[in-house]
Amino acid sequence: MTRLPKKQERQALLKSVLQKISDQTGCMYGVEYRFHPKRKWRFDAAFPSEHVAVEIEGGVWQYGRHNRALGFLKDLEKYNEAAKLGWRIIRTPWEWLEDGSIVSVVIEALLHNRKTLDK
């Protein structure tokens, strides 16, 4: 089981990964990005122009908010509403941010959506 980073470490890690993606793609990002016109839902991170969001699923190795039935169902509602608005959601655990393996996945999604949105 991997130790979950502390809040300040998580914020720094997320911003570092997002900046790396931004540097490689030229896409601008936002953190805690509010995407819905009526609900107060937020993505952990988003690239608004490309409609790509990054959601970090915490507590993967614990019985956390995202693993319990009510939290899971609320996440599904949020993700489905985002999809109806044209968002592509990349879900990741902290481990994939730490080892950098999520970077290429997000970049591919950004490039795909950029092509799709340009048509």
Q: How confident is the model at residue 1 (pLDDT cuts 50, 70, 90)?
A: very low
pTM of the model: 0.84
Residue 57 is assigned to a structural domain of this protein = yes
In a domain, 16, yes or no: yes
Q: Which CATH number does the domain housing residue 15 bear?
A: 3.40.960.10
Q: How many domains does the chain have?
A: 1
In a domain, 86, yes or no: yes
pLDDT in tens, 22-37: 999 999 999 999 999 9
- The token pair at 94 is 């902290």
Torsion of CA 22, 27, 33, 34, to 10 degrees: -170
Two tokens at 85? 């608005």
pLDDT of residue 8: 85
Structure tokens at 11: 């914020």
Is there a domain that residue 99 lies in? Answer: yes
Span 44-91, pLDDT tens digits: 999 999 999 999 987 655 555 556 678 788 989 999 999 999 999 999
In 3D, which of 4, 82, 14 has the Cα closest to residue 45?
14
Q: Residue 1 falls within a domain, yes or no?
A: no
**2: in domain:** no
Q: Decide if 33 is inside a domain.
A: yes
User: Which domain range does residue 93 map to?
Assistant: 7-118
